[in-house]
Amino acid sequence: MQTRSAMHTQPSNESTPHESGPYLGFRILGGLLLVLLVVSMVLNQTFLNQRFVTREMTSSTLENQLLDEVHAGMAQYGLPSKMLTKSDADQVVRTVVRQAFHGEQLKVNLQPVTDQLAGQANSELAQFGISTSLLPAGTSAAITDNVNSAVNSRINTPQVTAFINGLQVVKTVVNVLLVVSALGLLIMLGLALLGHHLLNSLTWISSGALLVSGLLFFGAHLLIPQLAQAAPDYSAFAVQCAADFQRVANGWLGILAIIVVICWGLRLIRSSRR
């Protein structure tokens, strides 16, 4: 004959195997969705973010490499590279990045540079009593068009076109993953709330996501410079991007860590009151 205490403990022992299977799958799926959500958010704030890419390019040697192509196009018409100031160079980078993120063909407009050169020519000719109004109409505009055409033909390579097209695909995929993971996670948290296991599930979901996300971001931080070793000209830029990528990722990992600490703290408090 069973004692009263044994009769009370028997149902709880029988319910454990029944609940462990569904809860384990539930938490694994929730952790996967949270990882996808965090990774999507980090990508949207770094490599898929126009401001981030612009800032990285204007503060790296990659800007100089882009300007080398611009200078080469200008040199075809005898325009000195010193005509392009740092502010002009930054404007060229901002224009190129904006067009790439909008899926447009790269079009650099160097009219301010040619206008500046024309102004200097006017001043020098005026010293000898010569007016540029004697030149054929449309000469300045024709020179500007030719310079722009020469520069744009050098930067619109097949590789650049492929990169722009690939960027649009990646942005679409990441945004879809962001929406799906966010909605899926909200639904799962709602189900956990209705099933009276929100705290327990959220604890394991956030803990697992913190571990997996941390490993993924750390691996990406190490992998990005390695991928650029095949192109030494971009190695410094890759190292810089990897460091700034890790900085943004650490912010999201910190948020996850706070959630994990709060969840485990609440569980300890609840268990101590029993």
| Per-residue confidence band for 221, with pLDDT thresholds at 50, 70 and 90 | very high
CB atoms within 10 A of CB 18: 9
What Cα–Cα distance (Å) separates residue 156 from each residue in 70, 89, 237?
11, 17, 21
Residue 134: per-residue pLDDT: 47
Residue 149: per-residue pLDDT: 80
Residue 92: per-residue pLDDT: 82
In the chain, domain spans: 24-49+162-272, 51-158
Distance of CA 13 to the CA centre of its chain: 49
Torsion region of 103: left, alpha or beta (phi above 0 gives left; psi -120 to 50 gives alpha): left
- The per-residue pLDDT for range 1-37, each reduced to its tens digit, is 455 444 444 443 433 444 455 688 999 999 999 999 9
Residue 247: per-residue pLDDT: 96
Reply yes or no on whether the pLDDT at 244 is more than 70.
yes
Reply yes or no on whether the pLDDT at 172 is more than 50.
yes
| Contact status, residue 57 vs residue 93, Cβ threshold 8 Å | yes
Residue 153: per-residue pLDDT: 80
**Strand locations in the chain, DSSP E?**
none
Reply yes or no on whether the pLDDT at 162 is more than 50.
yes
CB atoms within 10 A of CB 4: 6
Rounded Cα distance, 41 and 121, in Å: 51
Residue 127: per-residue pLDDT: 59
Please state, rounded to an integer, the average pLDDT across all residues of the chain: 81
> Which amino acid is located at 1 in the chain?
M
Rounded Cα distance, 147 and 73, in Å: 7
Pick from 109-118, 154-163, 258-267: least confident: 109-118
Rounded Cα distance, 148 and 143, in Å: 9
Reply yes or no on whether the pLDDT at 144 is more than 80.
no
> Which amino acid is located at 249 in the chain?
A
Residue 273: per-residue pLDDT: 80
List all residues 6 or more positions away from 214 whose beta carbon is below 8 Å from its beta carbon: 253
Sign of CA dihedral 208, 210, 216, 222: negative
- 22 compared with 99, residue with greater pLDDT: 99
Residue 6: per-residue pLDDT: 46
Reply yes or no on whether the pLDDT at 154 is more than 60.
yes
3 phi/psi in degrees, rounded to 5: -75, 170
> Which amino acid is located at 2 in the chain?
Q
Residue 237: per-residue pLDDT: 86
- The per-residue pLDDT for range 38-72, each reduced to its tens digit, is 999 999 999 999 999 999 988 887 777 777 777 77
- The per-residue pLDDT for range 110-127, each reduced to its tens digit, is 777 666 665 655 565 555
Rounded Cα distance, 68 and 62, in Å: 10
Distance of CA 248 to the CA centre of its chain: 10
Rounded Cα distance, 38 and 205, in Å: 13
Pick from 106-110, 147-151, 226-230, 268-272: least confident: 147-151
First and final C-alpha spacing in the chain: 29
